[in-house]
Each structure stands twice: as C-alpha cells, then as structure tokens.
Structure 1
Amino acid sequence: MIARYLSAISARISAFEFALVSLIWGSTWLVIKGQLGVVPAPWSVAYRFTLACTLMAVFTIATGRWVRMTRRGHAFAAIAGTAQFALNFNLVYASERHVTSGLIALVFALLVVPNALLSRIVLKTPISLRFLIGSAIGIIGLGLVVADDRHDPAEWSTTLDGLLLAGGAVLCASTANVMQAGGFARSLAPFPTLTWMMFYGALGDIAFAAATSGPPVLDFRAEYAIGLIYLAFAASAVAFTVYYRLIRRIGPGPAAYSSVIVPIVAMTLSTIFEGYRWSVISAAGAALALIGLVVALASRRKKLPVPAATR
C-alpha cells in the first residue's frame, strides 16, 4: 500500500517536472525576442549566462553538491560549455532577427537528427530504419512550414539567413549533447559540471560580445530586466536542474519527448503574440514534423542522446 502510494506521488512529480520544463522552454523563444533591441544580442547572451552561472554556483554549493573538478573535467566543461552556451545561443539570438520564434523552436525539435548522426559517428550508436523514416517525415514537415512561411519571394533571403543560423545553432547544441552522452561525461558530478559549463560559456559570450559589439550596453526597461531574469533563472538554472532530475527519475528516452511539447507551446505563443498566420499547408507541415519526431524518438528511446539544450 505504501509502495503504491509512493509510486503514485513519484509519477505526479515526474508529470509536473515534465510539464514545467516543456512550458518553460516552450516560452523562452518568445522571451528572447524581447531581448533584441537596445542591447546587442551577444551582450544579452553574456548577461544571461553570467547570471545563470552565478545562480547555479550558489545552488550547487548551498545543497552540498559542489566537488572539485579535474583538469580533464575542466577541459570537457570548457569545450561543451562553449558549444552549448556560447556558440549555440549566440546563433539562436541572431536567428530570431530573421524568422519567427515558433519556427526556430520547430527547427530545434529536430535536434534528435544530428544527435543521432553524431552519436553514430562518435559513439557507434546504431540507427534504425524507423528512426530514419521518422526523421524524413519530420524534415518534410518542417519543409512545408518553411515553404509556407514566406509568400513574398523578396523575403526568402531573410528566411534562409534565419534558418542557416538556427541550423548552425542546432549543430553546436548537438555536439554538446553527444559529448554528454560519452562515458567520461557520465563519471562527472552533474551540477558542478553544468555550473562550470555555464561559466566557460559565459566567458566565451563576454569575449564574443566585446569583440563584435564593443563595450557593454545596458537596458533598464522593466521588460528587458524581467525577461533576462526569467531566461537566466527559469530557463537556464531551474529548467536544466529539473530536466536532469527528470532524466534520473523516468529515463532519458521519455524525458526527450519534451522536444515534442516545446514547439507546440512555442508555435502557440508565436500565433498569439507574433501574429503568425497558419494555413492548411503550414499546419499540416507542423503536424508532420511532430509526428516524425515521435516516430524517431520511439525507435531510439533507450539509446538516443537526450536533447538537453533546449532553450
């Protein structure tokens, strides 16, 4: 009786954590839009992860999870953190200037595809026929959405720029994901490692911002400040912490299904706040992309490197 009761509580906690992560990461795409304007995008990224790193360090030390990292561990954190929190996010913020936030979220939903390909190359993880079919369906669906997103031929260049930037961000995020799926990464303490990853990512962000945008620029508007705090606290420190807890509780396969929920939330918010106009073609394309993602994930639940870097 007690075991059944505890199992029910655990299931409810897992469902809450899954919903929380999906809603947070689904909303961040729209919040990022509010970070573009007065402050150059590279500085917004630098502020976000400097603050997130500080919050993670305070949390890790306060909960007694802090441990010393070896030189090899620092090297891992530096490479993975630069790919995940510097290159990836700078490309994402840049892409948001060209296409809607919901469309970028849909592109990132297909992160499982490069994850699987890089995993095959680096970790020798097999790829099933069902995964290939699901990936093909997802890519076709995304193609339909993109094809219907710009009706004016003059706007195709802008759309292409945004998609190329988002595609580069996906590759950077996928590189960090596959690194985290290796044996060495599994031997590292998760919270200190994530903290150091954000630290090295923030250093890269500051260096890039200074080199490309000059001295720091501040925006004292409440909208910007609230958005920055939300992205650093909720979308970075809290969401990553909860996501890793969720992975330990229900496994990486089921946790990865948040990749299906996130673009639904993002596209809904894009429709409400950005005026995204749906057509039969774009709606069918989005449905195909999500169906393909479900098929691909279902075929590789136990072996797929988890898409941990959603927004």
Structure 2
Amino acid sequence: MVNAATDAKSTISPLAWALLILLGLLWGGSFFFARVAVQHVPPLTLALSRFVIAAVALHVYLRGRDGFYDTLRRRAGAFLLLGLLNNAIPHSFIFIGQTHIGAGLASILNATTPVWTVLIAHGLTKDEKLTPRKFAGVVLGLLGAVLLFSPHLGAGADAPLWALALPLLAAVSYGFAAIFSKRFRGVDPTAIAAGQLTASTLIMAPVALIVDQPWSLALPPPGALAAMLALALVSTAFAYILFFRIIGLAGATNASLVTLLVPPSAILLGIVFLGERLEIIEWAGMAVIATGLVVLDGRLALLMRRRLLHN
C-alpha cells in the first residue's frame, strides 16, 4: 500500500489505463490463486511461501542498488512493523477466511480497506480528518459490508461469520499500514515492497513452522504448486513492480483506482474457473461498497462540479 497524498497528476494515459486494468487482474488473481492453493496448503504456510518467493524475486530485481541493504538495516524496526500490518496479519487472515469463502466474496470484503483507512486516519492524524464527503463514503462502505454479512446470519448460512470477519479485519490492518507507511516517504517504493516482504518472511517463518509443521505435510498437487508460484511471483512481486510503474505514469491517487478493479477480477476468475456464485444481496453489497469508494475518491464529484460550472 502506498500513500497517495503527494499525487499531482489529474489524467491517465491509455498506457496507464491498460497497466491499471492488468494490475486489477493480477491482484484479483491473488484471491483466485489463494483459493486454489489453500485447499491443499495450510494458510500460514501459504502466506510464508508467498512472502519468501516474492521477497527473493524482488531482491534479485533490485540487486542491492540505490543503497537498498543500507536502508533495510537502518529501518529494520519500521520494516518489521510494516510487514506485520501490511502482509503477515492481513494475508494470513484472508487465507484462513478463504478456507470457507470464495475468492470473489473475500475480495469484496477486502475492498473496504479505504473505508477503514479514512476512519483510522481521522483518529490518528491531525491533517486527515473526516469531511462530509468522506463521512458519506464511509457510511456507504460500512453499509455494503453489512449487506455482505446479512446472508450469513441465519442458522442455515453456508459460511461461518468468522470466515467473513477475517478479510474485513485484514482490511483494517491494511488501513493501519497505510497510515504507518507515511514514515517511508522518500524511500524507493520497490525497496519498501522488498523490505516489508523480507520482514514478513522473518515474522511468519517461526509461526508457520510451529503451527503447521510444513515438513510433515504431503506435497501439494501440481495445480496447487502452480497457484502458489503465481501468487508469489505474478500477483505479488511482479504486481508490486507494475503498481509502482503506474504511480510513475499516473500518480499514486490514480493508481489507487485499482481498488475498484480487484473485486470484479476476482469474481470473474472465481465464476469461470471455480464455479463460484454470488447471491443478489452480495452483488448489491459490492455495488454499495464501490459507490462508497467512488465518493471517498472524490474525483467524480469534482468532475461533475466542473462541468456544471462550465455549463
């Protein structure tokens, strides 16, 4: 996650749009790959494998340039906390939740991240307080989350409430990470990604080894192994590089539009390849959350205001 406060670009080129759509597919694909892999690999071991492989790939990509290792040493404590909030906790929670819920539903719940970020920023910062527009976006986002939970409150629910709560708690953790990441202003974003994934590996290694004892597990089938590699290399390492490329082309605020693209990608992959289906009320929840994100973003309202003034 990247702070978008310093973004100054107001337009998006066709190339940036193409890369943004591709990134939406890659990050939507992470929920799909996780759903495939978690059927054969314990969630904590899956999270660890994602961090290890992606961290190694980014270390190879950086090759220690621009003082990366010096930055890693000087900011070791900050990287550990960022890795905990932005990777170890949320990815573990999402993967555990996905043992009972599909890729599409998990991605929609996780799409509430900007809502929690706004609420956390209001409580912890002095310069990012709630405005009427932000408050409206937060209310819509929370209402969408309530709609997603509502089909699972009855006795015949097909998924336990804790499985839905975990991706939501992951979104809260992402919100805290977004605020904390401001401490990394001026640091190469790719180095931040490599640093936090390295820290996440150190955090998750003892947890996964103690809880899952992966050496005692059966070798996953080829499909699950392929999903694990795709999750780490495609939807994590390459996706981070692509994300920062988009920031360079269109700015961080425009890059954050990927939040709206991830759930449709995850839902489409889940429907086509996993046979998942969403109920009408879950589609409604996604629509309400998406509306809340658009309100929080504010650009659509600004564009409409400008057109009214020009008319």
Q: What's the TM-score, normalizing by structure 2? A: 0.84
Counterpart residue type for residue 193 of structure 1: I
Q: Distance in 1 between matches of 2:59 and 2:119?
A: 33
Q: 1:33 to 1:11 in 2, by over 3 A?
A: same
Aligned to 1:104: 106
2:131 to 122, 125, 128: 128
Structure 1 residue 264: Cα displacement:
1.4
Counterpart residue type for residue 193 of structure 2: L
Asked whether the 8 Å contact 1:82–1:204 carries over to 2, the reply is yes
Q: Distance in 2 between matches of 1:147 and 1:164?
A: 12
Aligned to 2:179: 178
> How do 1:224-303 residues align onto structure 2 when only pairs under 5 Å count?
224-298=224-298
> How do 1:17-56 residues align onto structure 2 when only pairs under 5 Å count?
17-56=19-58
Q: Distance in 2 between matches of 1:220 and 1:107?
A: 28
Q: Distance in 1 between matches of 2:300 and 2:204?
A: 34
Aligned to 1:307: none
Aligned to 2:163: 162
Structure 2 gaps of 5+ residues are: 1-11, 302-311
Structure 1 residue 191: Cα displacement:
2.3
Aligned to 2:7: none
Q: Distance in 2 between matches of 1:40 and 1:214?
A: 10
Structure 1 residue 253: Cα displacement:
1.7
Q: What's the TM-score, normalizing by structure 1? A: 0.84
Q: Distance in 1 between matches of 2:191 and 2:153?
A: 48
Asked whether the 8 Å contact 1:65–1:191 carries over to 2, the reply is no
Aligned to 1:200: 199
Q: Distance in 2 between matches of 1:44 and 1:200?
A: 16
Q: 1:120 to 1:65 in 2, by over 3 A?
A: same
Aligned to 1:4: none
Counterpart residue type for residue 209 of structure 2: A
Asked whether the 8 Å contact 1:87–1:172 carries over to 2, the reply is yes
Q: Distance in 1 between matches of 2:187 and 2:286?
A: 38
Structure 1 segments of 4+ aligned residues over 4 angstroms from their partners: none
Q: Distance in 2 between matches of 1:199 and 1:151?
A: 39
Q: 1:253 to 1:189 in 2, by over 3 A?
A: closer
1:15 to 14, 17, 34: 17
Structure 1 residue 65: Cα displacement:
4.1
Structure 1 residue 249: Cα displacement:
2.5
Structure 1 gaps of 5+ residues are: 1-9, 302-311
Q: Distance in 2 between matches of 1:118 and 1:300?
A: 24
Structure 1 residue 281: Cα displacement:
3.2
Give the % identical residues. Answer: 21
Counterpart residue type for residue 188 of structure 1: V
**Offset from partner CA, 1:261-304 (integer Å, 9 cap, x none):** 11111222233334344444333332222112111122699xxx
CA-atom RMSD, angstroms? 2.4
Aligned to 1:306: none
Q: Secondary structure at 2:160's aligned position in 1?
A: helix
Q: Distance in 2 between matches of 1:212 and 1:50?
A: 17
Asked whether the 8 Å contact 2:16–2:249 carries over to 1, the reply is yes
Structure 1 residue 98: Cα displacement:
2.1
**Offset from partner CA, 1:16-57 (integer Å, 9 cap, x none):** 221111110112111101112333221111111111110000
